[in-house]
Structure 1
Amino acid sequence: MSEQEPVAGFAVAVVREEGRWRWQSLDDSALRELDAAITELRKIRTSGAVLGMLAVDDEFFILLRPSPGGVSLLLSDATAALDYDVAADALDLLRVEPPEDDDEMWPEGALDIVADLGLPAPEMQVIVDEVDLYPDEQLQMIAQRCGFDGEFGKVLDTVLQ
């Protein structure tokens, strides 16, 4: 995909502050360039958890959690790197070689990225393996397990209109 070409999907940050969740949209450039998503997430000032959620073109999702030492991420389908710059950027950040072909899908990155929010790695693996679901449906399942499905429902209502 060309950097100038718009990418369908949505990019949001979900933030937990003082026991409550809130969300905010990220710029559309976050769907094209991983650095843009990370930069926007790092601008969010909070003492709580920050989670970036990108649903790209009904094909895959990326979860991002910035920390002082870097960023944790999960790419739901490594083969997406063959067609999408943002997925290729994710593999590059993870120092993983892109796949040769797209015969088999697999996740790359931290399956335990939201384990502290109530979704352990084995359960995340089950969600990622649900290849018949769209990324927004997989992200909804993640939101439900982490306790912010109400807020995420508002995100979906807003971005999918």
Structure 2
Amino acid sequence: MSDATAGPMTDLDFAVAAYTEDGNWTVTPLVLRGEPDLSTLVSALRRYAGEAGVLGMVSVDEDFFVLVRVFGSHARFLISDVTAATEWPLARQVVDELDIPLDDDDDEQVPAGDLTIVADLGMSAMDLGALCDDVDLLPEEMLEEVAETLGFGNQFHDAIEAVG
């Protein structure tokens, strides 16, 4: 059976790409087969040519999220919780890409990477950092808040419903 909907192959909750064309947001599910890999994710995002680049939003096992913003050959990254790198290959790849030393004894949930990743789109680094610090929210809820703030909440919701 080669049907991609036969069942989940990873603990990926969802992955979507969001970008603007003529000032309008488009959000589309990303098809990532097997265990999510950072280079595969960045390559998948490069297929979309938004006016301000393309924003990848990935949620893994209701544990953490990754934001990737690709513009041309440049990519910027944010992970909601560096401690996820001790358990998840994708998280480890992001932490390695950011060149952040990982302390296996540190269990404090903290974001890492570029908190200004969406500042020019409407969400300040301070607001994004505060959102990442809210331990009561699931990664999906955090990304939903980012989408709402940036102006594509409905499209985001429709895209993750299409995945689920």
Cα deviation digits, residues 62-97 of structure 1 (max 9, x gap) = 000112352101000000000000000001111112
1:83 to 71, 84, 87: 87
Quote the Cα distance in structure 2 between the aligned partners of 1:54 and 1:30: 14
CA distance in structure 1 between the aligned counterparts of 2:98 and 2:89, rounded to whole angstroms: 14
**Code of the aligned partner of 1:139:** L
Determine whether 1:21 maps to 2:13. Answer: no
Conservation of the 8 A alpha-carbon contact between 1:31 and 1:54: no
SS of 1:11's partner is strand
- Tell me whether 1:145 sits opposite 2:149 in the alignment: yes
- Give the corresponding residue for 1:109: 113
Identical counterparts, % of pairs: 36
1:66 is matched with which residue? Answer: 70
Higher relative contact order (CA 8 A, sep 6+): 2
How far, CA to CA, are the matches of 2:32 and 2:105 in structure 1? Answer: 28
1:28 to partner: Cα distance: 2.5
Q: TM-score, normalised by structure 2?
A: 0.88
Instruction: Tell me the equivalent position of 1:130.
Output: 134
Where has structure 1 moved over 4 Å in runs of 4 or more? none
TM-aligned CA deviation for residue 23 of structure 1 = 1.4
Q: Corresponding residue for 2:3? A: none
Give, in angstroms, the shift of residue 132 of structure 1.
1.1
- The structure with more helix, counted as a fraction of residues: 1
Structure 2 alignment gaps of length 5 or more: 1-8
For residue 131 of structure 2, what is the amino acid of its counterpart? I
Aligned to 1:42: 46
Separation (CA, whole Å) in 1 of partners of 2:163 and 2:84: 22
Query: How much is the aligned-residue C-alpha RMSD, in angstroms?
Result: 1.6
The alignment status of 1:154 with 2:158, answered yes or no, reads yes
User: How does the TM-score come out when normalised to structure 1?
Assistant: 0.90
CA distance in 2, matches of 1:143, 1:30: 26
2:100 aligns to what SS in structure 1? Answer: coil
Tell me if structure 2 keeps the 8 A contact 1:62–1:73.
Answer: yes
Deviation string, structure 1 residues 8-43 (Cα, Å, up to 9, x no partner)? 311110111101111122123486211110010012
> Which amino acid is 1:43 matched to?
R
AA aligned to 1:134 is: L
For 1:90 and 1:129, how far apart are their aligned partners in 2?
18
Structure 1, unpaired ranges of 5+: none
Structure-2 residue corresponding to 1:93: 97
